[in-house]
Structure 1
Amino acid sequence: MTKKQIPPVRDMHAEAMDRVISVSRRLFQTYGLRTMTVDEIARHLGMSKRTLYQLFRDKNELVRMVVKQFIEEMQANCESIRKDARDAIHETFRMFQYLDGIFRNLNPIVFAEMQRYHPDAFMLFDQHQQTYIKQLIIHNLQRGIQEGFYRADLNIEVIARFRLESGLLPLRQDIFPKDQFLLHEVQHELMLHYLYGISTVKGHQLIQQYQQQFDEQSNKKL
């Protein structure tokens, strides 16, 4: 007689860590990194600061784990978008729609605060940008050229670096102060500027088509 297999019980420690990371991420995105002290995070979680420190060595480690989770989630979503996209321009619009959902709920001071107060987490984010995101952009450029939607004379390395840096411009408070600009609207304008600059006439027609679809979807949400 075979013994009935008992389903594995999830480690309670890991479950508690996931909850802290999830709640902390929401708080950081809304209020910024500096405002959300360990005391504030513990209060929102309904747990003691001592318990929180049993899960994470310090706030730096917590911020780093939040960034790590964000990166893993982003990569999974980007891969799904890349595989399902009909063409290179459709892929760029889908990526924008995904980022639009993030930017609408993101306090732009997070980026500057991470760079200044949590350099380990920022280094993790920067490495992700310089490796995975840059390669994603290069693949999209190569695809667009092959499809005839992007100009064949593009210097892919130069354009990829430009796109990488311009993608972070909406987060620059010295350029786009949050009391004067909406993060997702700035991102949208920069995305269109980028696309029209690299596309052929054939590509321009497709951009207009996808932009119309995007506008219709946005109006339905209002």
Structure 2
Amino acid sequence: MREKILHHAADMFLNYGFKSVTMDDIADALGISKKTIYQHFDNKTKLVEATVMNLFQIISKGIDAICELHKNPIEEVYDIKQFVMNHLKDEKSSPQYQLQKYYPALFATLKHKQFEVMQRCVKANLQRGITDGLYRDTINVEFISRIYFNSMVAIKDKELFPLKHFSMNEIMDYFLEYHLRGICTPKGLDTLKQYINNQS
């Protein structure tokens, strides 16, 4: 039952927001009593924390699985983006913004964990891209990996990038092309253009 609650809670939080979804809403959606939820989670904050961390683990494992395929580094970047977007429901409810506003301690913990995962993954992607001749061998991997993470956080700021101007999918695509064009060799640019053309 705990896993079922976590799954449904994640779905509702991502679709409607952490603030607006109540314990009653989750109980009604599951067809159970609120008391049943409280047998597993002391309060809503504990449920939000467990839901967020469970989702983080699922996404982290998925990213690791994609990285283990050792695909073309440029294709890998887009595959990870698509995987994350699918699991976060295209971030319709601005989950990062809501976590930061209503659950700041949890947001800080999550951000630290995300940084560790992304650093490992992005550094490996950059090193492989350099080895394959797709990324310039003059880039500073440590610098680029940190800029990449901070940019990913920034583009989810709804005040900077309001959804009335951009969908999250568009923003992600714009950012990834911007990132890749800044580090690609001529060979890499050809690969990037071919990939983008194949998607359109």
| TM-score, normalisation: structure 2 | 0.93
Equivalences for 1:35-50 in 2 at 5 Å? 35-50=20-35
Structure 2 gaps of 5+ residues are none
2:94 aligned with 1:109: yes
Q: Counterpart of 1:131?
A: 116
State the Cα distance separating 1:103 from its structure 2 match: 5.2
Q: Counterpart of 1:205?
A: 190
2:139 aligned with 1:165: no
Q: 2:179 aligns with which of 183, 190, 194?
A: 194
Q: Counterpart of 1:180?
A: 165
Q: How many residues align?
A: 200
- Say if 2:133 and 2:187, in contact at 8 Å, map to a contact too: yes
2:61 aligned with 1:76: yes
| In 2: Cα distance, 1:74 partner to 1:118 partner | 20
2:135 aligned with 1:146: no
Q: Note the aligned Cα RMSD (angstroms).
A: 1.6
- Say if 1:115 and 1:122, in contact at 8 Å, map to a contact too: yes
Percent sequence identity over aligned pairs: 27
1:198 aligned partner, one-letter code: I
Q: Deviations over 1:100-135 (max 9, x none)?
A: 424554224221111122234313321222211111
Q: Which has the greater radius of gyration?
A: 1
State the Cα distance separating 1:140 from its structure 2 match: 0.8
| In 2: Cα distance, 1:119 partner to 1:45 partner | 28
State the Cα distance separating 1:98 from its structure 2 match: 1.6
Q: Counterpart of 1:5?
A: none
| TM-score, normalisation: structure 1 | 0.84
2:127 aligned partner, one-letter code: Q
Structure 1 gaps of 5+ residues are 1-15, 216-222
| In 2: Cα distance, 1:154 partner to 1:90 partner | 19
State the Cα distance separating 1:212 from its structure 2 match: 2.1
2:7 aligned partner, one-letter code: S
State the Cα distance separating 1:169 from its structure 2 match: 2.9
- Cα 1:117–1:104, aligned 2, differ >3 Å: closer, same or farther? closer
- Cα 1:192–1:103, aligned 2, differ >3 Å: closer, same or farther? farther
| In 2: Cα distance, 1:38 partner to 1:188 partner | 35
2:28 aligned with 1:25: no
State the Cα distance separating 1:74 from its structure 2 match: 1.1
